[in-house]
Amino acid sequence: MRTKSERGRRGFTLIEMVIVISMILVLLSIALPMYSRSILRTKEAKLHHDLVTLNKAIAEYSLDKKKAPQSPDELVPAYLKFIPDDITGRTDSWVWEPEDPQDAYDPNQTGIGSVHSGSNEISSEGTQYSSWLH
């Protein structure tokens, strides 16, 4: 037969539970911002990669065809499999800059010269995504 003091030791006290929950909350408060920062940096790295890829495809198209593409659709599927999403998560937010007529193969028929993000959000570097060229 168990004594009264042996039966009381089977569970956790309220103080022990509060301490454990507090420790878990402290660990979460440290881990969540680090996780959020890593997600943001991953999105920014993807944006940088997509900018390089898109601008490279525009340059290759221009060299091959001796004229700049008139629309992004002309890059698909020969130079790109698809137009990637901007950092906004949409493909329609890219800003397609016209080429400089002085540098164009055909000054009478200018096309797309470069592309940049259409997002005005601030990056982890403190600059707007729309100011990133590649």
Q: Is the distance from CB of 51 to CB of 43 less than 8 angstroms?
A: no
What percent of the chain clears pLDDT 70, i.e. is strictly above it?
93
- Number of domains the chain is built from: 1
| Residue 106 counted as domain residue | yes
In a domain, 5, yes or no: no
* Domain that residue 62 falls in: 46-131
Contacts of 60 (CB under 8 A, 6+ apart): 79
Mean pLDDT of 79-94: 93
- Domain assignment present for residue 116? The answer is yes
**pTM confidence score:** 0.75
Domain assignment present for residue 19? The answer is no
Establish if 59 belongs to a structural domain.
yes
Does residue 88 sit within a domain?
yes
56 within some domain: yes
The reply to whether 35 falls in a domain is no
Residue with tokens 């301490």: 19
pLDDT of residue 60: 95
- The yes-or-no verdict on residue 113 having pLDDT over 60 is yes
pLDDT at 131 over 90: no
Task: Tell me the backbone φ, ψ of residue 5, rounded to 5 degrees.
Answer: -70, -30
DSSP state for residue 88 in the 8-state scheme: T
